[in-house]
């Protein structure tokens, strides 16, 4: 068995150029120079993969103040040290708190009065949220509602929710919870004080808990590399693309839009595994086996980025589109959240799932999508 290498001939390879299958799309140069400059900016989930990259890109724009909010101290501390050493003169604040804690969120907004909020805090792991649905509801839905209401109360100028393609015709608790978060923003459409927007994109290459680090670990151990199903495809983007799209959406936000990036064609997970094995200097199925383990609960064979392609609106940027949404009133959202609270108190995963199905009309069983 060969020793583990970082690329063919021991040369490091680029995840972006070798695996993405398309030219990356970055919006940094297109963003208006003064859009973030001199602003007080809050990033929730700032210690995570996407949140931390948003923080890095915001820091380069010379904000008046950058506040990183996260409930996990280790990665947040590492980001704090990185930004403090690289960005001299940056007014950087860190708040360790949960978005589920209404009092803490109110205190933070009252303390800083952020003008821009990028909301990245969320539970995102599909199988774990299938096992712990109450936590997905409490963190993703109630957490988002808390931050949205604080933004409205303290007259934040713009609020951007980081959503996911798994919110489209969701087949799992995580995706359905994120779809409801989009619905919360839809109910804010006529809010005059704050302009809201959501950004929906696919899997982020190399992010924590994603398939690339898993494959790399499996390759380093000599295999096998595991794929859930050889027919699975996913949309992918780089973390830099994701963060720049989030910032661009913030600039464009006006009335609770859902922004979607043209991510090209979906990528075969099997081909991704084969390519990664080759890029590490091995031969698939000879040096390293690839085995099929079966779809996990709530997983789709194919992800979607749109509910209905006919409802797509072009923007001034040919790579960014807006999906039309039906109007939703805040009373409807509040009633749905009351039902969700009752379902959590029932301590029944099945009751939570059925309640979420009733309030998210597009929530489907995986069998109806996978066939």
224 prior amide bond cis, ω within 30: yes
Q: Which of 138, 166, 248, 300 is catalytic?
A: 166
Phi, then psi, of 366 in degrees rounded to 5: -55, -35
Q: Which residues contact 297 (CB under 8 A, 6 or more apart)?
A: 127, 130, 172, 366
In 3D space, the residue among 151, 161, 138, 152 whose CA is nearest the CA of residue 356 turns out to be 138
Residue with tokens 């704050």: 194
Residue 166 catalytic?
Answer: yes
72 burial class (0-12, 13-18, 19+ CB within 10 angstroms)?
Answer: middle
Distance between CA 230 and CA 268 in Å, rounded? Answer: 8
Tell me the DSSP string of 323-349: E------HHHHHHHHHHHHHHHHTT-H
DSSP code of 141? I
Distance between CA 51 and CA 42 in Å, rounded? Answer: 10
In 3D space, the residue among 209, 260, 211 whose CA is nearest the CA of residue 232 turns out to be 211
Residues annotated as part of the active site: 166
């Amino acid at each position: 068995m060969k020793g583990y290498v970082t690329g063919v001939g021991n040369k490091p390879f680029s995840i972006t150029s070798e695996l993405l299958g398309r030219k990356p799309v970055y919006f940094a140069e297109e963003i208006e120079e003064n859009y973030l400059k001199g602003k007080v900016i809050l990033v929730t989930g700032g210690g995570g993969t996407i949140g931390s990259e948003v923080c890095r890109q915001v820091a380069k724009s010379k904000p008046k103040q950058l506040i990183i909010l996260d409930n996990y101290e280790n990665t947040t501390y590492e980001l704090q040290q990185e930004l403090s050493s690289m960005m001299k003169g940056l007014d950087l604040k860190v708040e360790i708190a949960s978005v589920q804690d209404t009092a803490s969120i109110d205190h933070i907004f009252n303390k800083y009065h952020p003008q821009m909020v990028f909301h990245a805090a969320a539970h995102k792991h599909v199988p774990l949220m299938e096992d712990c649905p109450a936590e997905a509801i409490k963190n993703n839905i109630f957490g988002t509602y808390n931050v949205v209401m604080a933004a409205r109360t303290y007259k934040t100028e713009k609020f951007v929710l980081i959503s996911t393609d798994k919110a489209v015709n969701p087949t799992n608790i995580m995706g359905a919870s994120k779809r409801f978060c989009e619905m919360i923003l839809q109910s804010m459409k006529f809010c005059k004080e704050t302009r809201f927007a959501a950004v929906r994109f696919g899997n982020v290459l190399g992010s924590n808990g994603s398939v690339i680090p898993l494959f790399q670990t499996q390759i380093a151990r000599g295999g096998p590399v595991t794929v859930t199903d050889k027919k699975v495809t996913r949309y992918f983007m780089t973390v830099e693309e994701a963060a720049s799209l989030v910032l661009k959406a913030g600039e464009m936000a006006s009335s609770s839009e859902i922004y979607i990036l043209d991510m090209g064609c979906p990528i075969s997970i099997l081909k991704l595994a084969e390519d990664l094995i080759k890029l590490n200097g091995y031969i698939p199925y000879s040096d390293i086996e690839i085995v099929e383990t079966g779809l996990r609960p709530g997983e789709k064979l194919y992800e979607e980025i749109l509910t209905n392609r006919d409802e797509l609106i072009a923007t001034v940027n040919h790579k960014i589109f807006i999906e039309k949404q039906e109007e939703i009133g805040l009373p409807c959202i509040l009633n749905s959240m009351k039902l969700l609270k009752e379902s959590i108190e029932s301590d029944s995963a099945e009751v939570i799932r059925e309640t979420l199905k009733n309030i998210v009309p597009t929530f489907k069983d995986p069998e109806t999508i996978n066939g």
